[in-house]
Amino acid sequence: MSVLTPASEVILRHQEQFQSHHLLFAGDLQDTLATEIEAASVRVHTNQYHHWQSLIRTLGDHASFGLTADSTFVKECDTLIYYWPKSKQEARFQLRSLFSILPVGTNIFIVGENRSGVRSVDKLMEGIVTFRKVDTARRCSLFYGQLEQQVQFDQNNWWHSYQVGDAIINTLPGVFSQDDLDVGSRLLLSTFDTPISGSLLDIACGSGVLAAVLGKNNPDLSLTLSDVNAAAITSSKATLKANKLEGNVVTSNVYSAIEEKFNWIISNPPFHDGLKTSIAAADDMIRMAPSYLKSGGKFRIVANAFLPYADLLDSAFGSHEVIAQTGKFKIYQATKK
């Protein structure tokens, strides 16, 4: 058995009742329990590309990646095991999407860390599923109910838009800076006070706000945006379209689907995996960046000041500079020699 999250360990406490069921795993999956649990059948839907990449090695076509699950994919499933994300809005979006295609009577198990807000599930799903708590362990809670009625779900009803200067930003639930531009990204954008040109990769692009603002201000800039999250990919495409910008939006685990080299790589990199602090993605981003930059190309990111990026940058590039900072954030830049 692989290393499991606390939430999965709670699920395992009830594994005997799953053995005869056709399971659908969804939500904020962070381990491979779905490939190891004993059941009549197992399917997994994830909106995280890197999790899908690891799951398909074992599950093949029984693992799917995308913003929402397909009704054909879930039609044989009689039990949903849903891992609660850190965003309640994301949970509502994903659960209502699933409850629009799962049949009435489907067994619903919701598990998550208590600090994530999972205990609000009964209120959020009132009238759709009546939940009762069936277990508490490892600072997690497990809830059970049965789907009482299918719901209507229209993705178009979930969009949020705001403006940054002349740029229109379109976002879906669960995307970073869903409601407004975050302070770190604002600081990063402020460092681009003179025109830039060439090609730019916005990695871990989220809503596409960085690339959209820079694209509006630098019309000749060639844009590529990448992310692992299906909601971010969908949001970035909508943001580019709203601003009449051309750009290539790529689903990629850091550089896994990136094939060219750039004059600029920019990012507000994630430092969480679920609720846990993790710089694994940023570590890979920095370490491999020189291979994806043209000679003289620049790598510029914003980071919380406490994160140990300086040493990573020096190891990858030989040196770095801090071009802006506040009490909380630093803007790092390194140049490929």
Per residue, what are the HEC states of 82-136? Answer: EECCCCHHHHHHHHHHHHCCCCCCCEEEEEEEHHHCHHHHHHHCCCCECCEEEEE
- 192 and 328 share one domain: yes
The answer as to whether 1 is a domain residue is no
Average pLDDT in the 102-114 region?
Answer: 97
The answer to whether residues 170 and 118 belong to one domain is: no
pLDDT at residue 271, as a whole number: 67
Q: How far apart are CA 40 and CA 77, in angstroms?
A: 10
Q: Give percent above pLDDT 70 in the chain.
A: 97
Quick check: 229 pLDDT over 80? yes
Do the strands 79-83 and 107-113 form a parallel or antiparallel pair, or are they unpaired? parallel
Mean pLDDT of all residues in 108-134:
95
- The CATH number of residue 325's host domain is 3.40.50.150
Phi, psi of 91 (to 5 degrees): -60, -45
Domain boundary residue among 123, 155, 187? Answer: 155
Q: What beta strand segments (E) does 9-93 contain?
A: 22-27, 41-46, 63-65, 79-83
Residue 330 has pLDDT above 70, yes or no: yes
179 plus 236 within the same structural domain: yes
| pLDDT band, residue 279 (cuts 50/70/90) | confident
165 and 231 assigned to the same domain? yes
| pLDDT at residue 272 in the model | 44
User: Span 312-325, mean pLDDT?
Assistant: 97
Percent pLDDT > 90 in the chain is: 92
The lowest-confidence range among 279-283, 285-289, 324-328 is: 279-283
In a domain, 14, yes or no: yes
Q: Is residue 149 part of a domain?
A: yes
Q: Domain for residue 139, yes or no?
A: yes
Question: Does residue 13 lie in a domain region?
Answer: yes
Please state the domain count of the chain: 2
142 contacts 136 by C-beta, under 8 angstroms: yes
**C-alpha–C-alpha distance, residues 221 and 213, integer Å:** 11
| Mean pLDDT within 262-276 | 78
Phi-psi region of 29 (alpha: psi -120 to 50; beta: other; left: phi over 0): beta
Q: What is the mean pLDDT of residues 26-37?
A: 95
Q: Does residue 173 share a domain with residue 136? A: no
By the 10 Å C-beta count (0-12 exposed, 13-18 middle, 19+ buried), 310 is classed as middle
Whole domain around residue 236: which residue ranges? 160-336
On whether residue 43 sits in a domain, the answer given is yes
Which of residues 121, 155, 189 is at a domain's end? 155
Q: What is the mean pLDDT of residues 305-310?
A: 90
Give the mean model confidence (pLDDT) for residues 97-124.
Answer: 96
Rounded mean pLDDT, 84-96 = 95
Has residue 320 got a pLDDT over 50?
A: yes
pLDDT, position 337: 92
pLDDT of 164 reads: 97
- Torsion over CA of 13, 16, 22 and 23, rounded to 10 degrees? 10
The answer, yes or no, to whether residue 146 has pLDDT greater than 80, is yes
Judged against a pLDDT cut of 50, whether residue 206 lies above it is answered with yes
The reply to whether 174 and 134 lie within a common domain is: no
pLDDT at 278: 58
Rounded Cα gap, residues 232 and 225, in angstroms:
10
pLDDT of residue 14: 96
116 and 169, same domain (yes or no): no
Q: How confident is the model at residue 177 (pLDDT cuts 50, 70, 90)?
A: confident
Q: What is the mean pLDDT of the chain?
A: 95
Q: Which of 130, 155, 180 is the last residue of a domain?
A: 155
Report if residue 231 sits inside a domain. Answer: yes
Mark whether 166 and 86 lie in a shared domain.
Answer: no
> Does the pLDDT value for residue 275 go beyond 80?
no
> Which tokens sit at 116?
């994530």
Average pLDDT over residues 87-103: 97
d(CA 108, CA 99): 10
pTM of the model: 0.95
184 & 116 share domain: no
Q: How confident is the model at residue 1 (pLDDT cuts 50, 70, 90)?
A: low
Residues 132 and 268 in one domain: no
